[in-house]
Structure formats: C-alpha cells, structure tokens
C-alpha cells in the first residue's frame, strides 16, 4: 500500500471517529464524504448520501436562528462552493430523517485547486441543540431581569419623585425650585443642613429625576474613610474597582464630606477636575464620568472642615435645607405620609390621630428633624394598638414633654392654633389630590377617620366637587 493510500486511510479513520460531523461536497454538489458524526446528528446514513447530490440548499425547513430561510442562494455552503464568499460559519435548524429538528453550527471551508478554483467544500458540523436551549433560557432570564430593572427604576423615580417631597411651608419653596433646577443639568451640588433633614433623600430625588437617572447612584459614607477605611475602596486598586468607577455614568453622593481628611479631599478634587481616577499602585488614569452631590452640616463648613477649592467645586448649586422647627406647617403632612408608609409595611393601620398627639408633635422642636419624627411615629405605631394614635403610644421623652406655663404657654398655644389653622386646609387638599379624590385613602394619609374628614371639609368650606 502506498504512503498516499495509508494517509488517506488514516484520515478517513480519524474523520469517522470524530464527534463532530464532517462532510465534503464537490463542485458537482455531490457528497464525497459523510462521516458517522453527521449520521448521528442528522439521522442520515453515509451509504445513502455519498455519491448523491446535496440538496440541503433546497430544504425549505432549513432556517437560521432568527427564523429566516437558508434555502436557495441563501445557503451558506452553496455560496462558499460558488466562490461568492471565502468561508462561512452558520447556525441553522435542520430536519432530522426520523422526524424532529436539530440545531447545528457548521463551518464551511473551501478546498482550492492550484489555479485557485474551488474544488470542494469541507463542512464541520456540531450539534448545538442543548446550547441553543440554554441560550434561549438565558435570553428569557435576561429579558425578565431587564424588565425588573426598569420596573425598579420606575419605582425609585416614583419614590424619589417630587411628589414624595411633601411640603406646604414657605421655607421649602426656594428649596424645591433649586432641586428642580438641579435636575436639568449635571453640575455639582452641595446639600447642607442639620442632621436628619433628609439630605440623602434630596440627593436621590435629583439623581432619579435628572440627566443621570439611568446610571447608578452610589452613596459613600465619608465618615468611614476618616476611620481608616482603605482609600483603594474609593479610588480603586488592590483588587477593588473603586466607588468612583462604580458610579461611572451616574451619581456619586458624598455623605458628610466634611469628615474626609484633607489629603483625600485633595485626591477627590483632582479626580473630579480630571474626570479620571488613578487607582492605587497604578500610573495610569481611568476615565470616569460622574455627577457629584455632597452633603455636610453647615457648622462644619463654617469651621473650615472642607477645603476651599473643593467647597467651590461642589457648591455650584448649594441647597440649604431648613430644620423641621422652621417648617412646622409640614409636620401634619409628614406624619400622614409616615403613617401610610409604615402601615404598608405591616404595622397597624391608624385611622385617626388624637388632638393631644397633634399638640405634642407640632410643639416639639425635633432636634433630629425628619429622622426623629419618623422614628417617633414608627415607635408609636409599633407600641400601641387600635385605630387611633394616642399620647400613650408616643415615645417616653416626647410623651413626657410639657408645654411652657403662664404667658409662654398662652403664646405657644396661640402659635400652635395659628399653625394648624394655616395648614389644615392645604393639608387636606394635598392629601385628596395625592389620593386621586378617594376620601378613604386621603383620611388614612392624614391619620384621621373618614367621618372626621367630612366634618373638617364642611367646617373649612372645602367643596368636594372642586376636589374631584
């Protein structure tokens, strides 16, 4: 046996044992090779196909992964055989001889003569049916996740929308205007105010209603970096991507920026100006595109805790949040909103708030601002029972407080009456509007019974037809 014959025999034996399907079609479109792998995948025997003309290009049930027919001139193997393209790789669904279909991926390679003409085409076929099923399953999961992400983004935009910032106070009107203005650009924002004034909530409102709403919102507690947290977590390096890069395309919120040491403040300022960050241990800068929103307490700024250059960079838009004691008109609205939120989380449903409770809530100074108020209402809902919020439900320090006596007591009472009279009508109208005119829901939001809401509507001269 000649060396050539031996090589051909060994090649034929190797091709017969390979798991992949291998076939060869000559220039007359006839099969000259159809190995066992092809037989296993398609169900056709080599004996019935070798020497016969290949008609797969005529099969109307041969289609690609997008459902498009690969018959006629669209057959990739035929295009390679004709020299219309140098080679091809194609996923397709084929009909099996015994019925049913199989997904295959085939690579078509031409064999050329010394003169450059295509002598034949070698096809290597692999069964990818299981792979296609897994890919389609993953595509379904991806689509579901994409839908969930969009839904969550919508919920976040609703949660942190302007409707979520409840206020009837004149002190908050310029603040709301500044927040709306901040949503129309990508300038840096500095939010200042006492502890508990919901600075992060304002930052999230700007993000989820602004130009970066489709990007991430990354909140950084700057206090952690003043306690020895590695800077790599902020700038990257040492296996960390870094929080600045994590916020790329979105918003970086620096909570309590005044607590950062001066050296870190300087590095942050350089990163913001260069719009790039240099990870620890690297000489290369990585581009980052972030909007910066920072928060701080006003006294800290006055004491020079923030570098002047960083302060001027951050305070392109400076939003000063007033303390709750300067916007007591908002307390009834905030209480109603808080009751509704915690009721939806499983705490008891309160239909009415006792008048003495209102007295204590409005007359309290709330040194911790909205945070303290929220905690007090949550504690009252968790501690008490029944549909009415009573003084005995309130936390001890708040329940034990007493209004001043004598002339101060009279002045305090007069102020309280004036405040409640001023806001009650606007609070009811606002609740009815947010409830879509549903009086049961509006009463729940206000923390009063439906019958009491009707009495107050009549007493204040509010026409239901106008509300609706």
Contact 82, 66 (CB under 8 A): no
- 59, 42, 46, 53: which is closest to 12 by C-alpha? 46
Query: What confidence score (pLDDT) does residue 415 get?
Result: 47
CA distances from 326 to 71, 93, 170, 200, 376 (A): 77, 71, 10, 20, 19
> Strand 286-287 vs strand 276-277: parallel, antiparallel, or unpaired?
antiparallel
Query: What confidence score (pLDDT) does residue 48 get?
Result: 82
Q: Is residue 440 part of a domain?
A: yes
Phi, psi of 203 (to 5 degrees): -60, -45
Containing structural domain, residue 105: 3-127
Q: What is the CATH number of the domain that holds 427?
A: 1.10.8.60
Q: Do residues 339 and 294 both lie within one domain?
A: no
Q: What is the CATH number of the domain that holds 299?
A: 3.40.50.300
Q: In the numeric block, which tokens belong to residue 435?
A: 């409830």
Q: Which residues contact 345 (CB under 8 A, 6 or more apart)?
A: none
Q: Do residues 271 and 336 both lie within one domain?
A: no
Q: What is the CATH number of the domain that holds 68?
A: 3.30.450.20
Q: Is residue 144 part of a domain?
A: no
CA distances from 360 to 159, 332, 339, 357, 409 (A): 29, 12, 16, 5, 13
Cβ-defined contacts of 216-220 (< 8 Å, 24+)? 216/246, 216/247, 216/248, 216/249, 216/250, 216/251, 217/247, 217/250, 217/251, 217/253, 218/243, 218/246, 218/247, 218/250, 218/251, 218/252, 218/253, 219/253, 219/255, 220/252, 220/253, 220/254, 220/255
Contact 379, 391 (CB under 8 A): no
Q: Do residues 314 and 190 both lie within one domain?
A: yes
- The three-state DSSP-derived secondary structure of 232-281 is HHHHCECCECCHHHHCCCCEEEEECHHHCCHHHHHHHHHHHHHCEECCCC
Looking at residue 112, what DSSP letter applies?
Answer: E
DSSP string, 378-390: HHHHHH--SSEE-
Tell me how many helices (H) and strands (E) the chain has: 21, 14
Q: Is residue 153 part of a domain?
A: no
**357 vs 389: CA distance, rounded Å:** 7
Determine how many CB atoms are found less than 10 A away from the CB of residue 112: 11
Q: Do residues 309 and 381 both lie within one domain?
A: no
- 376, 367, 372: which is closest to 326 by C-alpha? 367
Last-in-domain residue among 127, 150, 182: 127
Q: Looking at the DSSP assignment, which residues form a beta bridge with residue 124?
A: 22, 107
DSSP string, 3-31: HHHHHHHHHHHHHHH-SSEEEEEETTSBE
Contact 380, 372 (CB under 8 A): no
Q: Do residues 164 and 123 both lie within one domain?
A: no
Average pLDDT per block of 10 residues along the chain, 468 residues long: 56 70 90 89 86 66 79 83 91 86 92 91 92 87 78 65 76 93 96 93 93 93 73 79 92 94 91 91 88 88 84 95 92 88 83 87 91 92 88 82 47 49 68 78 75 73 62
Contact 216, 249 (CB under 8 A): yes
Determine how many CB atoms are found less than 10 A away from the CB of residue 336: 25
**55 vs 48: CA distance, rounded Å:** 13
Q: Do residues 113 and 259 both lie within one domain?
A: no
Phi, psi of 327 (to 5 degrees): -140, 55
Q: Do residues 399 and 254 both lie within one domain?
A: no
Last-in-domain residue among 302, 322, 342: 322
Q: Do residues 371 and 354 both lie within one domain?
A: yes
Q: Do residues 165 and 42 both lie within one domain?
A: no
Q: Do residues 334 and 308 both lie within one domain?
A: no
Residue where the block lists tokens 């829901």: 441
Contact 203, 251 (CB under 8 A): yes
Q: Do residues 45 and 110 both lie within one domain?
A: yes
Number of domains the chain is built from: 3
Q: Is residue 354 part of a domain?
A: yes
Q: Do residues 101 and 215 both lie within one domain?
A: no
Q: Is residue 427 part of a domain?
A: yes
Q: Is residue 133 part of a domain?
A: no
Query: What confidence score (pLDDT) does residue 457 get?
Result: 76
Q: Is residue 135 part of a domain?
A: no
Query: What confidence score (pLDDT) does residue 412 get?
Result: 46
Last-in-domain residue among 82, 103, 127: 127
Contact 118, 135 (CB under 8 A): no
Q: Is residue 186 part of a domain?
A: yes
């Amino acid at each position: 046996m000649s060396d050539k014959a031996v090589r051909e025999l060994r090649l034929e034996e190797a091709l017969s044992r390979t798991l992949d399907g291998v076939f060869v079609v000559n220039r007359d479109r006839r099969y000259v090779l159809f190995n066992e792998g092809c037989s296993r995948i398609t169900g056709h025997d080599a004996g019935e196909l070798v020497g016969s003309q290949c008609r797969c290009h005529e099969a109307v049930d041969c289609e690609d992964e997008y459902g498009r027919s690969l018959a006629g001139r669209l057959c990739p193997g035929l295009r390679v055989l004709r020299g219309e393209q140098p080679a091809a790789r194609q996923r397709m669904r084929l009909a099996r001889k015994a019925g049913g279909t199989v997904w295959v991926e085939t690579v078509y390679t031409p064999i050329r003569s010394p003169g450059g003409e295509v002598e034949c085409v070698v096809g290597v076929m692999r069964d990818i049916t299981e792979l296609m099923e897994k890919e389609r399953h993953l595509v379904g999961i991806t689509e579901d996740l994409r839908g969930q992400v969009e839904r969550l983004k919508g919920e976040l935009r609703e949660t942190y929308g302007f409707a979520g910032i409840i206020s009837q106070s004149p002190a908050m009107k310029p603040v709301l205007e500044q927040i709306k203005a901040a949503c129309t650009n990508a300038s840096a924002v500095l939010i200042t105010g006492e502890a508990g004034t919901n600075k992060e909530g304002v930052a999230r409102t700007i993000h989820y209603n602004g130009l970066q709403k489709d990007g991430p919102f990354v909140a950084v507690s700057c206090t952690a970096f003043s306690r020895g947290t590695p800077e790599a977590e902020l700038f990257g390096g040492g296996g960390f991507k870094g929080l600045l890069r994590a916020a790329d395309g979105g918003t970086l919120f620096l909570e309590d920026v005044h607590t950062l040491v001066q050296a870190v403040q300087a590095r942050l300022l350089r990163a913001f100006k260069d719009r790039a960050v240099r990870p620890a241990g690297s000489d290369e800068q990585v581009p980052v595109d972030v909007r910066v929103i920072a928060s701080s307490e006003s006294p800290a700024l006055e004491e020079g805790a923030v570098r002047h250059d960083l302060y001027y960079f951050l305070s392109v838009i400076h939003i000063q949040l007033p303390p709750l004691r300067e916007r007591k008109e908002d307390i009834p609205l905030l209480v109603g909103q808080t009751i509704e939120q915690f009721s939806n989380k499983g705490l008891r449903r309160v239909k009415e708030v006792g008048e003495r409770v209102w007295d204590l809530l409005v007359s309290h100074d709330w040194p911790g601002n909205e945070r303290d108020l929220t905690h007090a209402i949550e504690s009252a809902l968790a501690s008490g029972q029944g549909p009415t919020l009573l003084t005995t439900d309130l936390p001890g320090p708040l329940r034990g407080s007493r209004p001043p006596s004598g002339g101060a007591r009279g002045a305090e009472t007069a102020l309280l009456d004036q405040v409640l009279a001023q806001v009650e009508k606007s609070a009811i109208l606002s609740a009815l509007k947010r409830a879509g005119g549903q009086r049961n829901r509006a009463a729940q939001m206000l923390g009063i019974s439906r019958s009491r809401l009707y009495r107050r509507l009549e007493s204040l001269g509010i026409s239901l037809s106008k509300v609706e």
